[in-house]
């Protein structure tokens, strides 16, 4: 049996770097007991953090929204993440970082004052989505969005997302696109959603019902720079059913085509022309970013 690569990974926990196997947290950590914490996932290309400023700002927004004080300065965050990256050989990585409210010995929904946040970060090799998946797209179902009303916070409390992923899998789907109680598309279980109709890209506007995705924002910039019409607009399930193209976006999957929706082909049943353009520009944007790094 091959040794698990995870046992050889170095992680960061509360100011120290250590082997993953040695990283331990208290059972009384509020992250463990209450899911009381927030997180970020940041891609690393050629050893460089991609859109670090934006991810850090979103982390700060999440921390402020749940009243956890930011435990580190910007330069401390940057330096710890860069050290973590340097300790691993992978050219492309993705960082997972998490801040919980900290340890409180007496379980109480009301947080004690002046807790010390628990800071955890580790890195993984970032593998590109398999070529056949990029070429063929994925199979998605729509599901009722069963989450809370603060989906703009990147909270570690992901039980509804896990349940919806399981529900998608039970229906032999790769993922789900979520529909609010008002009948509007919010996002994917771990991604933002886009659709294309008659050459125009649509994505739901930022609200408390979805995460302001960093990849979503890059796609918006790319569309604007290349004069591809993109409108932030509420998307009904009926509109989605009539879409020529549907995509999901995230830091680890970039822009990924959805070619089957609820068992029916989306458009031609193959990734569409607008997705191809955006994906080509996205790859070029990444290459440009890599070239600009020291
Ligand atoms: N998830 N919406 C949700 C609910 C997400 O969990 C994510 C990302 C996104 C896309 O955000 P971004 O483009 O900044 O990655 C949208 C990460 C990848 C995760 O939980 O692993």
pLDDT greater than 80 at residue 214: yes
Are 121 and 208 found together in one domain? no
Are 141 and 28 found together in one domain? no
Is the CB–ligand 1 distance for residue 259 below 6 Å?
A: no
What pTM value is reported for the model? 0.96
Is the CB–ligand 1 distance for residue 211 below 6 Å?
A: yes
Are 176 and 190 found together in one domain? yes
Percent share of the chain, pLDDT over 90:
95
Sequence length of the chain is: 294
Q: How far apart are CA 3 and CA 220, in angstroms?
A: 42
Count of domains observed in the chain: 2
pLDDT greater than 90 at residue 1: no
Tens of pLDDT, residue by residue over 161-182, are: 999 999 999 999 999 999 999 9
Average of per-residue pLDDT across 235-254: 98
Is the CB–ligand 1 distance for residue 98 below 6 Å?
A: no
Are 111 and 21 found together in one domain? yes
Q: Which two tokens stand for residue 29?
A: 């950590």
Q: How far apart are CA 55 and CA 69, in angstroms?
A: 17
If 0-12 CB within 10 Å is exposed, 13-18 middle and 19+ buried, where does residue 265 land?
Answer: exposed
State residue 293's pLDDT score: 80
Are 200 and 121 found together in one domain? no
Residue-range definition of the domain harbouring residue 272: 131-290
Q: What is the mean pLDDT of the chain?
A: 96
Q: Name the 3-class secondary structure at 142.
A: strand
Q: Which pairing describes strands 118-125 and 93-100: parallel, antiparallel, or unpaired?
A: antiparallel
Are 95 and 204 found together in one domain? no
Percent share of the chain, pLDDT over 70:
98
Report the nearest-CA residue for atom 4 of ligand 1.
Answer: 190
Are 90 and 181 found together in one domain? no
220 inside domain: yes
What ligand 1 atom has the least distance to the C-alpha of 192? 16
Q: How far apart are CA 269 and CA 137, in angstroms?
A: 8
pLDDT greater than 70 at residue 250: yes
Tens of pLDDT, residue by residue over 38-97, are: 999 999 999 999 999 999 999 999 999 999 999 999 999 999 999 999 999 999 999 999
Are 106 and 156 found together in one domain? no
Which of 110, 125, 140 is the endpoint of a domain?
A: 125
Tens of pLDDT, residue by residue over 109-150, are: 999 999 999 999 999 999 989 999 999 999 999 999 999 999
Are 137 and 281 found together in one domain? yes
Gyration radius of the chain over CA positions: 20
Terminal-to-terminal C-alpha distance of the chain: 40
Q: How confident is the model at residue 2 (pLDDT cuts 50, 70, 90)?
A: very low
State residue 3's pLDDT score: 39
**How far does residue 213's CA lie from ligand 1's centre (Å)?**
6
Are 173 and 119 found together in one domain? no
Q: How confident is the model at residue 199 (pLDDT cuts 50, 70, 90)?
A: very high
State residue 7's pLDDT score: 52
Which of 105, 125, 145 is the endpoint of a domain?
A: 125
Any idea which residue has 């955890």 for tokens?
A: 120
Which of 71, 91, 125 is the endpoint of a domain?
A: 125
**How far does residue 54's CA lie from ligand 1's centre (Å)?**
13
Residue from 51, 124, 126, 192 whose mutation best tests the ligand 1 pocket (most atoms within 8 A of CB): 192
Residue from 126, 191, 194, 255 whose mutation best tests the ligand 1 pocket (most atoms within 8 A of CB): 191
């Amino acid at each position: 049996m091959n040794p698990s690569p995870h046992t050889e990974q170095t992680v960061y926990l509360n100011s120290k770097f250590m082997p993953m196997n040695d990283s331990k947290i208290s059972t009384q950590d509020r992250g463990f007991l209450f899911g009381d914490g927030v997180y970020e996932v940041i891609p690393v290309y050629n050893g460089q953090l991609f859109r670090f400023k934006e991810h850090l700002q979103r982390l700060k927004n999440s921390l402020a929204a749940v009243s956890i004080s930011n435990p580190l300065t910007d330069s401390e965050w940057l330096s710890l993440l860069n050290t973590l990256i340097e300790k691993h050989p992978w050219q492309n990585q993705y960082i997972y970082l998490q801040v919980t409210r900290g340890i409180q010995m007496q379980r109480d929904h009301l947080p004690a004052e002046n807790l010390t946040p628990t800071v955890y970060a580790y890195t993984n090799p970032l593998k590109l989505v398999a070529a056949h998946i990029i070429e063929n797209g994925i199979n998605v179902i729509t599901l009722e969005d069963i989450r809370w009303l603060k989906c703009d916070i990147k909270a570690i409390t992901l039980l509804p997302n896990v349940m919806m992923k399981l529900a998608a899998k039970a229906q032999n789907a790769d993922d789900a696109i979520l529909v609010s109680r008002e009948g509007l598309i919010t996002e994917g279980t771990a991604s933002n959603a886009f659709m294309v109709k008659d050459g125009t890209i649509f994505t739901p506007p930022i609200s408390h019902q979805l995460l302001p995705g960093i990849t979503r924002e890059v796609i918006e910039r790319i569309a604007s720079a290349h004069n591809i019409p993109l409108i932030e607009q509420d998307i009904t399930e009926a509109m989605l059913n009539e879409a020529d193209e549907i995509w999901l976006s995230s830091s680890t999957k970039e822009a990924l085509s959805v070619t089957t929706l609820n068992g029916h082909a989306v458009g031609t049943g193959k990734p569409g022309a607008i997705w191809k353009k955006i994906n080509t520009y996205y790859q070029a944007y990444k290459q440009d970013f890599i070239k600009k790094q020291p």
